[in-house]
Amino acid sequence: MKKLIIFILIGCCFLTACSTEKKEVNNKKEEIEEKEEENVTIPVDTYQDLNNTPICFYELKNSYLTKITDIKKTLNNLEDIGLFQIFPSCESEIHLNKSFAESFKEEWDKYNTNHQLKMGYSLSFETKEDGLKSFNIFNPNDTMKEWEYIMTYLYDDYCNRNNSSYSHLEVSDYKDSTLLTAIKLQSGHRYHEIVEKIELKVFTYDTDDDFENAIYRGNSTSTLTINII
């Protein structure tokens, strides 16, 4: 009987020791996990845009620029939607004392000196079958995107200032110094599938940080809404 009691006591001590050891292991595991959680740092987005270059869409008539933010347009197959000039200003109306090309370059250089800026566009619209279409245009390579809905053409007025003809930029024309001073939209053969409106944005940027998931997030931007009637 004594032997039985001794065996029972030894068994209880063994179980208690195992249980205690298991608890200690679990506690240590929890402590390690807590420390690991404490050491995990969530990256902070420190992006700050110091580029406040004004930029807007304008309609050029003779020596006057008139700011435009929205227009109404009936679309027809392979017809121009519009040619839109860009100018580094947000004034409602501007009287040019020089040619548009010279005036643009003169004003642009005031801001470009500090930032080494480039200019780009983004185009977005809804379609009946394919839903939202949205893309950026940085150079002539991008002008064939979604061409069946809308065709785009880029212009550099400053480069063309001494030419007798006004021609859009080809891929071979584009350089780092190219100024995208104007953009033309033309309806493609699937134009009738575009719903309600087209949004065209212009922006200036100097680094890749100005974009998040390919969407511009800087300060220097303006939007032109083309309402379809």
Residue by residue, pLDDT tens for the chain (229 residues) are 545 444 444 455 444 544 555 555 555 556 656 655 565 555 677 899 989 999 999 999 999 999 999 999 999 999 999 999 999 999 999 999 999 999 999 999 999 887 789 999 999 999 999 999 999 999 999 999 999 999 999 999 999 998 878 899 999 999 989 999 999 999 999 999 999 999 999 999 999 999 999 999 999 999 999 999 9
Given this model, what pLDDT does residue 121 score? 98
* Measured CA distances, 194 to 82, 185, 190, 191, 223 (Å): 16, 14, 8, 6, 18
Given this model, what pLDDT does residue 45 score? 72
Dihedral sign, Cα of residue 71, residue 174, residue 143, residue 209: negative
Q: Return the residue matching tokens 């065709």.
A: 151
Token code pair at residue 86: 């860009």
Which of 123, 55, 120 lies closest to 86, judged by CA? 55
d(CA 71, CA 82): 10
d(CA 115, CA 10): 80
**Strands, E assignment, the chain:** 56-61, 64-67, 70-73, 80-87, 93-95, 118-127, 131-137, 150-155, 182-187, 194-205, 211-212, 215-216, 221-228
Given this model, what pLDDT does residue 115 score? 77
Given this model, what pLDDT does residue 162 score? 84
Please tell me whether the overall predicted TM-score, pTM, comes out greater than 0.85 for this model: no
Given this model, what pLDDT does residue 165 score? 83
Q: How many CA atoms lie within 13 A of 193 on its CB side?
A: 15
Given this model, what pLDDT does residue 195 score? 96
Given this model, what pLDDT does residue 4 score? 47
